[in-house]
Amino acid sequence: MNIKSILILLLAWSYFTGCGGKKEQSAISAENKVTVSKDNSTSAEQGGYGFEAIAEKLGYQTYTFSEKDGNFFGDPNAVKGGTLHYIHSLFPRTMRIIGQNSSQMINARIIQALCYESL
């Protein structure tokens, strides 16, 4: 036999043995299933099960978004995907206005807005 026929025979054999005959298996087998037990050690007053009833008695309400609210958080006609370009400066590395790593503009803006601006 020449090399070409051996190669074709080998490819045919690997195709039939590797691609067929087996029953499809589920990606989630019984061995991979995890059960989570209910945590009853935390009381309802500390945020455990039953806290919803306590919160409701105290007057708290869970806000659910309506379809009208969804219009304020984005344009329904917007094209999905794209790229957000955000540029911030790391210059100069040794200038620390607020503290360590404050030379990064993002850190300086966050720290200033959250800590000092409200004062």
Q: Where are the domains of the chain?
A: 41-77, 86-118
List pLDDT tens digits, range 24-83: 656 555 566 778 788 888 888 888 888 888 988 888 888 887 877 766 776 778 778 877
DSSP string, 3-62: HHHHHHHHHHHHHHHHSSSPPP--SS-GGG--------SS-GGGTSTTHHHHHHHTT---
Averaged pLDDT, 80-107: 67
